[in-house]
Amino acid sequence: MAWTINDAVYQVRQIVQDTRSTSYRHPTEKIIGYINNAINDARRLRPDLFVGSGTASTWDPVPIYSIADINLEFPIDPQYFTAVVNYAAGWLGLEDDEFANNGRAVTLFQRFAAQLVSKGV
Amino acid sequence: MAMVSSDIWADELTVALPGATKPAIQQAFRATFREFCTQSGAWVRELPLIDIVAGQDTYPLDSKVSDASILYILVAYLRTVSGEDDHYRALKALQTPFHRTRQKGTSGYPRAFYSVTEAPATLVLTPVPAENIEDGLQVYVALGPKFPYEDEVPEFLRSHAYDVLLDGTLGRMMGQQDKPYTNTIGAQYYLRRFRGGIAQQRDMARRQYTSAESSFIFPPWAR
Interface ipTM: 0.83
Distance CA B16, CA B186 (A): 11
Of B24, B178, B180, the CB nearest to A51: B24
CB atoms within 10 A of CB A64: 11
Q: How many CB pairs under 8 A join A and B?
A: 40
Average pLDDT, chain A: 89
Greatest alpha-carbon pair distance for chain B in Å reads: 68
pLDDT at A97: 66
The domain ranges of chain A are 5-117
The domain ranges of chain B are 9-42+154-206, 44-144
**Phi and psi at residue B198, to the nearest 5°:** -60, -45
How distant is the Cα of A98 from the closest Cα of chain B, in angstroms?
Answer: 36
pLDDT at B172: 97
pLDDT band at A25, cuts 50/70/90? Answer: very high
Closest-approach residue (CA) in chain A for B28: A48
Distance CA B77, CA B68 (A): 22
Tell me if B67 sits within 8 A of B87, measured CB to CB: no
Distance CA B119, CA A86 (A): 53
Record: contact B24-A45, CB cut-off 8 A: no
Of B27, B151, B179, the CB nearest to A51: B27
pLDDT at B42: 94
Record: contact A117-B178, CB cut-off 8 A: yes
DSSP code, position B209 = T
**Phi and psi at residue B10, to the nearest 5°:** -60, -40
pLDDT band at A89, cuts 50/70/90? Answer: very high
Tell me if B127 sits within 8 A of B106, measured CB to CB: yes
Tell me if A91 sits within 8 A of A69, measured CB to CB: no
Distance CA B71, CA A96 (A): 61
From first to last of the 223 residues of chain B, give the pLDDT tens digit: 789 999 999 999 999 999 999 999 999 999 999 999 999 999 999 999 999 999 999 999 999 999 899 999 999 999 988 888 888 899 999 876 665 556 566 667 899 999 988 888 999 998 899 989 999 999 999 999 988 778 889 999 999 999 999 999 999 999 999 999 999 999 999 999 999 999 999 998 888 888 766 555 566 666 5
Closest-approach residue (CA) in chain A for B24: A48
DSSP code, position B139 = E
Top pLDDT among A54 and A27 is at A27
Contacts of B64 (CB under 8 A, 6+ apart): B47, B48, B50
pLDDT above 80 (res A101): no
